[in-house]
Structure 1
Amino acid sequence: MNVLVTGGAGFIGRWVVKRLLEDGHQVWVLDDLSNGRRENIADLESHPGFRAFVHGDIKDEGTLEELFRNQFSICYHLGASINVQDSIDDPRTAFNNDTVGTFYVLEQCRKHNVKMVFMSTCMVYDRCTDEKGITEEHPIKPASPYAGAKIAGENMVLSYYFAYGLPTVVIRPFNTYGPFQKTGGEGGVVAVFLKRKLSGETLNIYGDGTQTRDLLYVEDCARFVVQAGYSDAVNGHIVNAGLGRDISINDLALMIVQDPKSIQHVEHIHPQSEIQKLLCNYEKATRLLGWKPEVTLEEGIRRTEEWIASTNLI
């Protein structure tokens, strides 16, 4: 198939592109490099199935019209603003990228009858209150403009399924980590902690550290994302993916450094948008896609640390 990946030079996007190429598809990548890095896909661009990297913006309708002449079968829409604090500081950019930009991509999918897989986020959910985990029917709570813009995007994506019969699916991966994730302030907690450990720095925990996260290894996530595009069973659905195990940030820090003296608690930068407990119930993904995670948290952390230690890219 001909496939478009928006945000394909980003952390998760890079692994989605790799998976699609391995599955034998022709892949185009659209990315404005505001979050992504060209280096993320440098080793993939020589693959015979890699057709083009387009440095462009999902809000540029001319760029999209030109791209969609390639008769795509699927559009994996991962291009987005992704940082909660950035969305609080600058809600306009988050809304324009995550809601308006999604609308522009959707319009091209409708015009050319291209399936859209929309990458949403677990950050749309209210805190978990059930040890069975968060299902897709769990209450949502837009605790940040990022979450609000993603919910708006989700609703537009699903509206095109119901109004036009366009095949669309909303996917909500939980906190994803692994090689190629940024290790600076805008990176995920695992990457940030590992980088600080390897640099001999103290691990800083926002707030009291009792907040929990369900951490999904990136190759498991990419497999889920790609599979959602292949299957008609999930069209018109919202589908979660996670490890099905949560861990407190305090316990995660200890798992990584094994030394309480190397950990300190600092004032939370956005306590109003913190979600105290995130735990994924991925039964629907198993039922509809046959998907389940394969990489344990311990193994995923080991692989990620090995990658960070081996590269000066980030």
Structure 2
Amino acid sequence: MNVLVTGGAGFIGRWVVKRLLNDGHQVWVLDDLSNGRKDNLDEFAAEAGLKKVVIGDIKDRGLLAQLFSEGRFEICYHLGASINVQDSIDDPETTFNNDTVGTFYVLEECRKHNVKMVFMSTCMVYDRCMDDKGITESHPIKPASPYAGAKIAAENMVLSYYYAYGMPTVVIRPFNTYGPFQKTGGEGGVVAIFIRNALSGKDLNIYGEGTQTRDLLYVEDCARFVVTAGYSDKINGEIVNAGLGRDITINDLAKLIAQDENKIKHVPHIHPQSEIPKLLCNYEKAKRLLNWEPQVSLEEGIRRTTEWIRTSHLM
């Protein structure tokens, strides 16, 4: 198939591109490099299946129109977005424009050209998990940050195109994803930052008390879920979760990575009002409809990520 991946130079995006290429598709990438990096795609440069990498903005309607006319896509994996909760609180307008308005512009092109959209949302739209059964897709949502609010608004637009136009769309909500190619600086995820600091002999700083939990999904499991969601008609018009199905406190995560409790420090939370105390995924729907379940344990995922950070000299 001809496939477009917005945000394809990003952390999860490059793994989605890799999987699509391995499956034999023709892949176009659109990315403004605000979160992604061109060198994330370097290893695919010689592959005939990677048709074009376009450096551009999803809010550029002229560029979108040209790209969709040229590409004749069958699926658009829409991963391009502002993804940082703290940034969304400090600058809500940028997040809203990228995540909601930008999604609308991509949707319009998908509608005009009859292209299926797989929309990458987030577990951060959910209210806290109250039990050990995990968060299902019918769990209450809570826009605790402008990031979550913008994603919920975009989700509703995506699903409205399914109901109003019969356009194939699906909303996917992966839980906190980590692994190789994630940034290890302030814009990265907690796992990558902790590993880099541990390898460098630095302290691991935890916001607040560290009792908040996260369900951590290894990036290759996430990419397999994202790509599979595009292949299946069973989930058109649906919202589907993906996660490990196991949560861990940030304190325990730090201990697992640091192997030295003296290196763990607690610092004041920047935006405690947007913290979700417990995140735990119930992925039964993905298992039932897509035959998907995670294959990489947290311990194995951390081992692979540590090795990648060490050999990439990112300490």
Question: TM-score higher than 0.5 here?
Answer: yes
Aligned-pair distance for 1:130?
1.9
Would you say how many aligned residue pairs link Structure 1 and Structure 2?
A: 314
Aligned-pair distance for 1:312?
3.4
- Could you say which residue in structure 2 is the equivalent of 1:123? 124
- When the two structures are superposed, what TM-score results if normalisation uses the length of structure 2? 0.99
Aligned equivalents of 1:313 and 1:151: distance in 2?
34
**Structure 2 residue runs without a partner (length 5+):** none
Aligned-pair distance for 1:233?
0.3
- Written as runs of structure 1 = structure 2, the 5 A alignment for 1:13-162 is 13-69=13-69, 70-162=71-163
Q: Per the alignment, in what secondary structure is the counterpart of residue 41 of structure 1?
A: helix
- Could you say which residue in structure 2 is the equivalent of 1:229? 230
Aligned equivalents of 2:83 and 2:210: distance in 1?
22
- Could you say which residue in structure 2 is the equivalent of 1:209? 210
Q: Does 1:11 align with 2:16?
A: no
**% identity of equivalent residues:** 79
Report the AA paired with residue 52 of structure 1. Answer: K
Aligned equivalents of 1:206 and 1:47: distance in 2?
42
Give per-residue Cα distances to partners, 1:148-204, cap 9 Å, x unaligned: 000000000000000000000000000000000000011000000000011110000
Report the AA paired with residue 36 of structure 1. Answer: G
**Structure 1 residue runs without a partner (length 5+):** none
Report the AA paired with residue 59 of structure 1. Answer: K
Runs of 4+ in 1 over 6 A off after TM superposition: none
Distance 1:195 1:313, change over 3 A: closer
- Written as runs of structure 1 = structure 2, the 5 A alignment for 1:190-205 is 190-205=191-206
Q: Per the alignment, in what secondary structure is the counterpart of residue 44 of structure 2?
A: coil
- Could you say which residue in structure 2 is the equivalent of 1:258? 259
Give per-residue Cα distances to partners, 1:111-163, cap 9 Å, x unaligned: 00000000000000000002110000000000000000000000000000000
Aligned equivalents of 2:131 and 2:170: distance in 1?
25
Aligned equivalents of 2:307 and 2:82: distance in 1?
28
Q: Per the alignment, in what secondary structure is the counterpart of residue 240 of structure 1?
A: strand
Aligned equivalents of 2:95 and 2:73: distance in 1?
27
Aligned-pair distance for 1:44?
1.1
Aligned equivalents of 1:287 and 1:231: distance in 2?
12
